[in-house]
Amino acid sequence: MDRPVIRILSIGLFALAAFMVFASPLTQGDAPPDLRIDIRHSGEANLRVVYEWRRAQRRMIFQTVAEGYRKRQWTIVPDGFEIFSEGGADYIRRAGGGRFRRVEIIARPDNIRLDKEYQPLVKYGERGALLYTGHFWPMIKSGGRVNAVFDFTPAPAGQVVAFGDRAMRIENWRSPEDHPAFVYMGPLAPVETQDVMALVDPGAPQWIAEEFNTLVPRAFSALSQLFGFTPETKPNLFLSANVEGDAGRLSYAGDALPSQFQIMLRGGAWSRPNAKAREVFIHSTIHEATHLWQAAARPASDETPEWIHEGAADAITAEARVALGDWNGAAFERNAQRARSECASELETGSLNGAAARQDFRALYVCGHVIADAVALAEGARVVDFWRALIEKAERAGGYTETMVYDLIEERTGDAEFAQAVRYFADTPLAQPGEEIEKLMTAARTAAGQRRPAASL
């Protein structure tokens, strides 16, 4: 129970989401749609989804969802169709073969909480539904998404909320991020501020809702200042909580998508205000918010290691807390020190670049944080300054790679040996991780000392 924070879910998802942007043609907004997906919400969390193709198809292909979700929770209304899974994809086709232009399905929410992917459809507050469009949006054979538009019709007295849009009905919708997104349908009134459109599940304890409403504008203004821009699309934030049960449980799961994040709190420890829960909430929420700015630089592929953005998000969260006046220098240093000692123990079992494969997700955060801090020290700048430069570089290149990160480190520190030391640290299984972290910090100080004149903080 001493490690109550569960952030595992957000880890793989953000990188995967970012990769999918590049897998889908970015220009499809100009072409007439090949498919219309009409989604009607029935008042509970059930959806009626009608697929209307411009040209007749032999089958529809979907990215598979774990636990056989579609087979269990989708019903195809017309007779003579079947759903089957093969080679990591789900298919809908006519049982006897042959082409079709229209299919109608009923989709129900799932009670199984998926560990490593977005929930396709969840009940969100009274008579509300939160859906992830990626699980309703067919793929093309080569892996990108079909050129499709969505129509959303909530149940009577409900609204649909998609990024900055809220309406009784939305037609011909495409995500402003050219990317799968969360869309809410139901009676909840979103809280719209200058910065965000937020949907807070009324089941969340009052103190959390208040904390959220206070934190978001403060954190957004601090992050806008640190990054030097505000996100182009008004982000959606979704906050839900299930505080029944185990009084010792304090779980925070965050899912980040471009311009959106979802926070799901679980456990009895959230039910009443307390210092530990508040600290987890503030820190993790700023971490998720940081991803909204980082998304301006997207990984070029799913080969790009996640420690780059997860570690930096932790490090920038610490910088934001200093900027907000939450933390003094000593608190900042304690946090950095904790990352170093946690990283040392995580790397006992293998290299940082091998961590995701051995499911050691914690290493990605803490060791990525250590690297981000070392680079900042070597540069005599803040982690967020490195990210501002990375965003610029990634925009020109259409995404960033691990190599691009090392090149930028060399460019900004003027020290090829230091850049090499960072690469070694990430790549190599280390016999004495604690000592290697010390060496890395020493190399950073050396790099900083060599540069004349020293950059100012």
Q: What is the full DSSP assignment across 5-51?
A: ---HHHHHHHHHHHHHHHHS-TTGGGSPPSEEEEEEE-SSS-EEEEE
Window 13-72: residues binding Zn ion (CB under 5 A): none
Residue with Cβ nearer Zn ion (11 or 146): 11
Q: What is the DSSP string of 152-190?
A: EEPPTT-EEEETTEEES-EEEE--TTSS--EEEEESPPP
CB of 376 to Zn ion, least distance (A): 19
Count of residues of this chain found to bind Zn ion when the rule CB under 5 A is applied? 3
Binding region for Zn ion (CB under 5 A) out of 7-15, 62-70, 154-162, 262-270: 7-15
Residue 5 or 419 with smaller CB distance to Zn ion: 5
Smaller CB separation from Zn ion, 133 or 284: 284
Smallest separation, CB 453 to Zn ion (Å):
36
Is the CB of 153 or the CB of 260 nearer to Zn ion?
260
CA angle 331, 332, 336 (to 5 degrees): 115
Nearer to Zn ion, 288 or 436 (CB): 288
Smallest separation (angstroms) from Zn ion to the CB of 257: 12
User: What's the rounded Cα separation, in Å, for the pair 317 and 368?
Assistant: 13
Q: Which one, 267 or 311, has the nearer CB to Zn ion?
A: 311
Which residue's CB is nearer to Zn ion, number 46 or number 290? 290
By CB under 5 A, residue 262 contacts Zn ion: no
Interface pattern 305-324 for Zn ion (x via CB under 5 A): -----x--x-----------
Q: How far is the CB of 287 from Zn ion (least distance, A)?
A: 6
Close Cβ partners of 417 (under 8 Å, ≥ 6 residues apart): 443, 447
Burial pattern 213-252, b for ≥16 Cβ within 10 A else e, equals: eebbebbbebbeebbeebbebbbbbbbbbebeeeeebbbb
Q: How many Å apart are CA 235 and CA 254, to the nearest integer?
A: 15
**Choices 5-13, 157-165, 166-174, 393-401 (CB under 5 A): range interacting with Zn ion:** 5-13
**Binding of residue 413 to Zn ion (CB under 5 A):** no
Give least dist CB 378 to Zn ion, A. 24
| Choice between 5 and 200, CB closer to Zn ion | 5
Which two tokens mark 276? 């530990």
Structure tokens belonging to residue 348: 């006992």
Give the residue at shortest CB distance from Zn ion: 10
Residue 315 CB, shortest distance to Zn ion, in Å, is: 12
By the 8 A CB rule, do 155 and 186 touch?
Answer: yes
Residue pair 394/301 in contact (Cβ under 8 Å)? The answer is: no
Cross-strand bridge partners of residue 299: 400
Task: Give 92's strand partners.
Answer: 60, 83
438: which 2 tokens? Answer: 């010390």
Q: Is 10 in the site for Zn ion (CB under 5 A)?
A: yes
CB of 281 to Zn ion, least distance (A): 15
Chain residues in the site for Zn ion (CB under 5 A): 10, 310, 313
